[in-house]
Structure 1
Amino acid sequence: MRNKRLPPTAADRRHFLLRPVVGSLLALALPGVPLLARAGGHAASAEASAYPPVVEGALLQFPQDFGAHPQFRTEWWYVTGWLREAGGGTGRHWQGAGEGGAEVRAGGYGFQLTFFRVRTRIGEDNPSRFAPRQLILAHAAIADPSIGRLRHAERSARAYPGLVEAGEGRTSVRVDDWFLEGGDTVLAPYRTNIETDEFGFELVFEPGRAPVLNGKQGFSQKAPDPLNASYYYSRPQMMVGGRMRIGGKVREVEGHAWLDHEWSSEILPEGARGWDWVGINLYGGGGLMAFQMRDGEGRALWQAGTLSEEDGASRIHGPDELRFTPLRHWQSPRTGIRYPVEWEIELAGRRLRLRPLIDDQELDSRASTGAIYWEGAVRLFELGAADEARAIGEGYLEMTGYAERLAM
């Protein structure tokens, strides 16, 4: 990791040459349609027929499915987590810290890294390496309590061998010098390096266990119609070590992370405006993934979740077992968008509560995916019979579609 900004490299210059074409490519490829999630209706169904469908019963195979699936419309590798200065009681000990460790774990930073791959269906018969058949986009952020907001950056470019690409067979995705790679075997580590003017991080993630398959063995339904689905697995409880830079100060850090990988040709159901999603590393060593699709009035169209244990066992929760209820809102001073930043989640009779590390974790990605969304570090509490709150985990909450229908 560099402590200071170096002069632009050849890769940097190529990135800036490629980046201006992305906006026009998106307009040509998917006019009036979300980039990373499809609109519903007849037009969406006709468009989706040009891509492979997601079908129930297809078995995910690892490590092959750690890599890219370029035939599908959209795909993302999404890593989130909490970091603290090394030696502060995180690492492997974090899993067994138990109920009394909430104060020990106070503080820290949240971080996010997402790489997106989009098949445009433009120039697929063109043999040129410059043909915009695939787009690769990336978001990176640090939730910094010292300033009360996110530090974030983004990149986007058409795929170009060796510079901007998403490889098959293992996780290997990059936009210039930003990258995420690993997954050579089921338990092999991942590593990433992100450098921006304001911040950077160079991290290694150790999985420690096999992937958790969401939905029906990796077939994750997003609506009553199974057309709206993705292939989806998670990797909770990854241990993290490395370095993080904020400004000119570099810190040795450790912590825990969560990796999601999804690919699909049709996600958003008709009438959906956006979604709310959580991925939580539980203090006992397990993990909780839960989401809801919302309509324009904020009503739930579909809910689903996966509760995994430290030993790898998992339970799938369907729409009748989950309910999201917003408790407190925060309004962005920059965009005026109002987000519910505290939630109660009812999960099969349990009452859970989400509270943010900081309220202002809005990410404006209009220069790449075109979306403004809330993506932030949260703590999870369980409510007892007398409404006492017991801290049980940390993770991330993502909320989309609060400004307008998701149009990425």
Structure 2
Amino acid sequence: MNRVKILILSFCFFHFTFPKDHSFHSEFGLEWCYFVGFLESATGNQYGYELSFFRLKLSDDSDWEAEIFPVHFAISDFSNKKHKTSQTIKRSIGDLSGYSDQFIYSGDYHLNIISKDKFHLTAGSKSKNLSIDLDLKGSGKILVHGKDGISIKSNRNPNIFSYYYSYPRLITTGHLVLNGKQETIVSGTSWMDHEWSEKKSKSLPTLATGETGWDWICLSDSLGGDYVFFRFRESNSAFPEIFGTYRNPEGKTTYWKEPGQIQMEPIGHYWKSPVTKIEYPLHWKIKFPGGEWKVSPIFNEQEFDGSKTTSTIYWEGGVEAEDLSQKKSAKGYLELKGYKKSKDWWEF
């Protein structure tokens, strides 16, 4: 039995139980519950949103363990190519943040878990410039990644893993406020991602250590298929490893985990953020068994500067994709993490 199999057998196999597992898991060190979506208002405007709830367990030499709860929130105005963000970080003291089987909250950001297939999201409810109040309803078709929900991020180092599931195609309605203007959301679809990792609490989890980086994308296509592609780098110098999940319209799930099954490469010029000066590859070609996606951003300026809360700056935004050979299109969200500010010509 090789090393990979031995390590996998040492994991605690986790069988998801819903709705309980929609909430946070206190015994793990790192966790995030994440929503993105495409929304259409009664006025015909098109929007995207991101709302990410994080939990990180800290520990010192005593028995006392603290949890912190960062939140990242953004709305992309696709019709006018504008992007606005907000964030917070709270600790589990003074009733400023917390969680139970029915909810997760941190400051002015709330996830209510109504049932296995129903959620209510509120963010920035006290803000006159940036907020959402959304109802989400699913069909019951939760997408589990990897064997028994164990999502390996690296074949070279299988200790880097998470328990991972997604909930695509959540029907979404409600309200949003952007720059003081309230919009009624009459139709929309959201994608939920939930991952947790590491029972160790004495140090930062392996998945989140400083040099890791990844290119992640979720896509829902026009024929009823759902995709996740994940291009992971253990360090800036490491060769990327690529993994994928596909669920076809009939509900059959395929996992791509072997080297060479997926080719995911940036194409064209990188976009340089005028704010942080970081360069990001926003156009991608993804070849997978049976097809090829060409991915482009809906607009470029969808960077999130989370340095005040999670110490990360990344690109997170709505994208569109085409597979001309299969005559289908898709929409989704792309996340690019681990890119650094490029040096100016005078820097060495």
TM-score by length of 2: 0.85
Is 2:143 the partner of 1:227?
no
1:166 to 76, 96, 99: 99
Q: State the SS of the aligned residue for 1:133.
A: strand
Please give the alpha-carbon distance, in whole angstroms, between the structure 2 residues aligned to 1:270 and 1:153.
24
- Larger RCO, structures 1/2 (Cα 8 Å, 6+ apart): 1
Is 2:31 the partner of 1:75?
yes
CA deviations over 1:315-371 (Å, ceiling 9, x no partner): 111133111110131100111100000100011141111111111111001111111
Is 2:136 the partner of 1:205?
yes
| 1:87-106 aligned within 5 A | none
**Residues 252 and 345 (structure 1 numbering): CA distance in 2 closer, same or farther, change over 3 Å?**
same
Please give the alpha-carbon distance, in whole angstroms, between the structure 2 residues aligned to 1:268 and 1:112.
21
**Residues 211 and 227 (structure 1 numbering): CA distance in 2 closer, same or farther, change over 3 Å?**
same
**Residues 54 and 250 (structure 1 numbering): CA distance in 2 closer, same or farther, change over 3 Å?**
farther
Please give the alpha-carbon distance, in whole angstroms, between the structure 1 residues aligned to 2:14 and 2:329.
34
Shift of 1:56: 6.1
CA deviations over 1:374-398 (Å, ceiling 9, x no partner): 000001211329xxxx552111000
Aligned to 1:112: 50
Asked whether the 8 Å contact 2:19–2:113 carries over to 1, the reply is no
**Residues 116 and 373 (structure 1 numbering): CA distance in 2 closer, same or farther, change over 3 Å?**
same
Aligned to 1:395: 332
Please give the alpha-carbon distance, in whole angstroms, between the structure 1 residues aligned to 2:296 and 2:143.
25
Q: State the SS of the aligned residue for 1:341.
A: coil
Asked whether the 8 Å contact 1:54–1:264 carries over to 2, the reply is no
Please give the alpha-carbon distance, in whole angstroms, between the structure 2 residues aligned to 1:271 and 1:337.
17
Shift of 1:271: 10
Please give the alpha-carbon distance, in whole angstroms, between the structure 2 residues aligned to 1:298 and 1:144.
36
**Residues 269 and 79 (structure 1 numbering): CA distance in 2 closer, same or farther, change over 3 Å?**
closer
Unaligned runs of 5+ in 2: 1-8, 199-204, 342-348
Is 2:284 the partner of 1:343?
yes
Shift of 1:401: 0.4
Q: State the SS of the aligned residue for 1:120.
A: strand
Please give the alpha-carbon distance, in whole angstroms, between the structure 2 residues aligned to 1:240 and 1:353.
27
Please give the alpha-carbon distance, in whole angstroms, between the structure 2 residues aligned to 1:297 and 1:332.
22
Aligned to 2:262: 322
Asked whether the 8 Å contact 1:223–1:269 carries over to 2, the reply is no
Shift of 1:155: 0.4
When you count strand as a share of all residues, which structure comes out higher? 2
Please give the alpha-carbon distance, in whole angstroms, between the structure 2 residues aligned to 1:394 and 1:336.
27
Is 2:284 the partner of 1:370?
no
Asked whether the 8 Å contact 1:231–1:263 carries over to 2, the reply is yes
Report the count of equivalent residues: 320
When you count helix as a share of all residues, which structure comes out higher? 1
Letter in 2 for 1:142: I
| 1:285-324 aligned within 5 A | 285-294=224-233, 295-297=235-237, 299-300=239-240, 302-319=241-258, 320-324=260-264
Q: State the SS of the aligned residue for 2:21.
A: helix
Unaligned runs of 5+ in 1: 1-52, 89-106, 127-131
**Residues 206 and 220 (structure 1 numbering): CA distance in 2 closer, same or farther, change over 3 Å?**
same
2:182 to 244, 250, 275: 250
CA deviations over 1:269-304 (Å, ceiling 9, x no partner): 99963000011122222311110112424731x211
Aligned to 2:346: none
**Residues 193 and 119 (structure 1 numbering): CA distance in 2 closer, same or farther, change over 3 Å?**
same
CA deviations over 1:57-108 (Å, ceiling 9, x no partner): 33222222112111211000000011111486xxxxxxxxxxxxxxxxxx61
Shift of 1:305: 1.2
Is 2:63 the partner of 1:125?
yes
Q: State the SS of the aligned residue for 1:321.
A: coil
**Residues 258 and 154 (structure 1 numbering): CA distance in 2 closer, same or farther, change over 3 Å?**
same
Shift of 1:54: 8.3
Is 2:123 the partner of 1:194?
yes
Asked whether the 8 Å contact 1:54–1:219 carries over to 2, the reply is no
Aligned to 1:43: none
| RMSD, aligned CA | 2.5
TM-score by length of 1: 0.73
Letter in 1 for 2:194: H
Aligned to 1:353: 294
The share of aligned pairs that are identical, in percent, is 29
Letter in 2 for 1:360: E
Letter in 2 for 1:251: E
